[in-house]
């Protein structure tokens, strides 16, 4: 991962199609266009109408593994650079990950993860429940055994990032086409817009960042990737909240401040969803469980104004698929619930790969799979327990 963005002029003469106008697609389109490539972004609906417009906008670089930590840090750097321009704002706010008394596996996992985060240079403190209560009176920490507090963190409204990056992509010369569903072809790379069928437009490269539809779009082009869409949920409460962002690993619930109240979520349904036929509203059990955790953890009796679901994408090992899958055809998907906060970096990496400036991230190479692997969907936010990663704690 080069990390400073594609070189100006390095894309001159390259014609690139980006499929998908979510956070990843608009970032890739902006970086490619800024490097001089002739970019067309195709979005089947409106910009941000996929997972990006439904995300919670929790942002941090507190990852226990080296590559993830670097990707997360680079993404935060770009969020901060963008903040204050094009209607986008990054709100600084610490992120607390906690485990309750009696949850021994999770206590070990939070302590272990915090140690590994620090080993990778992340700004993370480990606190007892008592110290947590002193630091953040807004959190009810009576039953908290251990907390990891990440300082390099914040939140935003994800839709404003998509709009801001799309504006920048257009300013750099990219053509942004909404209401343009495409199918992809290979050898040579190309796309056909559904409304213009059967015309296929040829490109030097096609980047498929189609979120929950990625597996289907690539399968129609004869390329198999192991990806499963699954539902996760969030809600907004209109009652005041003035504390940090937190993830209660024992309850599997997170919350962050939101204008006029708070936003809370997770509600993972670990079953493969059909990207065209899925329940957009939140489930009753999700609202009840999150409300209960908010009362216990933050003394917050929610006034639920809105609750919704969206689709994330899982891979067999929890790492994304980011790289070339056929000559000139690239995939960028499989974020396991962490795709928004990493988009400024993953969009950059895929742009650099398309331009031949970077070999990408080996750990994310889609070539590590055959494409037909059977696997279970695991929750994206979960703290890993019992796994020895070999990194010093």
Ligand X SMILES: Cc1cc2nc3c(=O)[nH]c(=O)nc-3n(C[C@H](O)[C@H](O)[C@H](O)COP(=O)(O)OP(=O)(O)OC[C@H]3O[C@@H](n4cnc5c(N)ncnc54)[C@H](O)[C@@H]3O)c2cc1C
Which residues in this chain contact ligand X in the complex, by CB under 6 A? 19-25, 42-45, 49-52, 54-58, 181-182, 209-213, 217, 232-234, 265, 310, 312, 333, 335, 337-341
Minimum distance of ligand X from residue 223's CB (angstroms): 14
Residue matched to tokens 């986008």 = 88
Least distance between ligand X and beta carbon 244 (Å): 15
Which lies closer to ligand X via its Cβ, residue 10 or residue 178? 178
Q: Which is nearer to ligand X, 107 or 124 (CB)?
A: 124
- Per the CB < 8 A criterion, the answer to whether 355 and 6 are in contact is yes
Using a CB cutoff of 8 Å and minimum separation of 24, what contacts does 166-170 make?
A: 166/21, 166/26, 166/29, 166/30, 166/41, 166/47, 167/86, 168/30, 168/34, 168/86, 169/26, 169/29, 169/30, 169/33, 169/39, 169/41
**74 with 3: CB under 8 angstroms?**
yes
As measured in angstroms, the least distance from the Cβ of 270 to ligand X is: 14
Sheet holding 329-333, edge to edge: 175-177, 38-42, 15-19, 205-208, 329-333, 321-326
Tokens of 370: 């055959």
**Closer CB to ligand X, residue 113 or residue 145?**
113
DSSP codes of every residue in 86-107: TT---EE--EEEEEETT-HHHH
Separation CA 18–CA 36 (nearest Å): 15
Instruction: Give me the least distance between CB of 10 and ligand X, in Å please.
Output: 23
Q: How near is the Cβ of 101 to ligand X at its closest, in Å?
A: 27
What is the greatest pairwise CA distance in the chain? 65
Quick one: 30 or 338, whose CB is closer to ligand X?
A: 338
Find out whether the peptide bond into 188 is cis, omega within 30 degrees of 0. yes
**Which residue number, 232 or 262, has a Cβ lying nearer to ligand X?**
232
CB of residue 322 vs ligand X: minimum separation in angstroms? 10
Nearer to ligand X, 107 or 266 (CB): 266
Q: How far is the CB of 186 from ligand X (least distance, A)?
A: 15
Q: Which residues, in sequence order, are bridge partners of residue 306?
A: 236
Q: Which is nearer to ligand X, 45 or 102 (CB)?
A: 45
């Amino acid at each position: 991962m080069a990390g400073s963005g594609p070189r100006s002029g390095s894309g001159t003469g390259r014609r690139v199609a980006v499929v998908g106008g979510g956070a990843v697609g608009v970032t890739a389109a902006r970086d490619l266009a800024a490097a001089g490539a002739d970019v067309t972004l195709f979005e089947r609906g409106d910009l941000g109408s996929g997972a990006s417009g439904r995300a919670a906008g929790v942002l941090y670089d507190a990852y226990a593994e080296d590559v993830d930590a670097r990707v997360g840090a680079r993404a935060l750097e770009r969020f901060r650079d963008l903040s204050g321009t094009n209607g986008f704002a990054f709100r600084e706010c610490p992120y607390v990950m906690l485990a309750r008394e009696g949850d021994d596996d999770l206590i070990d996992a939070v302590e272990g993860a915090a140690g590994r985060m620090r080993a990778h240079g992340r700004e993370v403190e480990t606190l007892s429940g008592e110290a947590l209560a002193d630091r953040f009176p807004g959190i009810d920490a009576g039953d908290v055994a251990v907390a990891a507090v990440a300082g390099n963190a914040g939140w935003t409204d994800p839709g404003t990032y998509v709009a801001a990056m799309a504006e920048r992509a257009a300013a750099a010369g990219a053509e942004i086409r909404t209401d343009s569903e495409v199918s992809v072809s290979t050898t040579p790379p190309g796309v056909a817009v559904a409304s213009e069928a059967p015309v296929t437009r040829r490109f030097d490269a096609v980047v498929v960042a189609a979120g929950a539809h990625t597996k289907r779009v690539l399968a129609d082009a004869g390329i198999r990737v192991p990806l499963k869409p699954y539902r996760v949920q969030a809600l907004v409460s209109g009652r005041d909240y003035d504390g940090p962002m937190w993830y209660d690993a024992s309850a599997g619930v997170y919350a962050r401040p939101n204008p006029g109240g708070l936003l809370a979520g997770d509600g993972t349904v670990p079953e493969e969803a059909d990207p065209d036929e899925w329940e957009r509203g939140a489930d009753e059990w999700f609202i009840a469980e999150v409300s209960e955790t908010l009362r216990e953890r933050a003394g917050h009796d929610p006034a639920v104004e809105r609750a919704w679901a969206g689709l994330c994408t899982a891979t067999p090992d929890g790492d994304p698929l980011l790289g070339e899958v056929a000559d000139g055809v690239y995939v960028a998907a499989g974020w396991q619930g962490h795709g928004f906060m990493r988009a400024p970096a993953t969009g950059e990496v895929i742009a650099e790969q398309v331009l031949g400036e970077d070999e990408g991230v080996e750990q994310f190479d889609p070539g590590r799979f055959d494409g037909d692997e059977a696997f279970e969907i695991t929750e994206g936010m979960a703290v890993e327990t019992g796994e020895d990663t070999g990194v010093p704690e």
